[in-house]
Amino acid sequence: MGAWNYQIFCNDDTCDAMCDIMESEDLYGTLKSFLDEAIEASDDYIEVDVAGFGLAASAVIDSIINEPAYDILFEAESSEYDEFFKKHDDKKKELDALRSDAVKVLDIILGEESEMRELWEENEELYPLWKNTILKLKERLE
């Protein structure tokens, strides 16, 4: 996992996922598939790339339903994704059906069998900030 800060879209996996999401012709289907893959992986051990894609999907769902929360998403007060979020504003009701799966994925990412959590724990300075970011996102989705 290449991360440069603790916010959600400050690592390679979530940015890769966002590229796939933005290129998708089926937003709901793509987000659901990323969430489903993360949930299925939780039966054993969730690897960092699968967690990253599930995390990105959760953040996109939240950003479209609730408006972007820049403090948990990025290092800046705006992003290259703003236009994408606005473009899909009409999907709020449809994406609302994915909230509970998104929350489940966030719990999995914070769980004992998560490579992403393990990697973040190695950084004593940023781990608490990263964990708080995930918890804030979860709270927004609940």
pLDDT for 37-54, tens place per residue? 999 998 889 999 999 999
Helix and strand totals (H; E) in the chain: 9, 0
Per residue in 78-135, pLDDT (tens digit) is 577 888 999 999 999 999 999 999 999 999 999 999 999 999 999 999 999 999 999 9
Which residues does 24 contact at the CB level (< 8 Å), separation at least 6?
30
Each residue's pLDDT tens digit, 10-33: 999 999 999 999 999 999 999 999
**What's the pLDDT at 76?**
63
Compute how many other C-beta atoms are within 10 angstroms of the C-beta atom of residue 135.
13
DSSP-assigned letter for residue 26: -
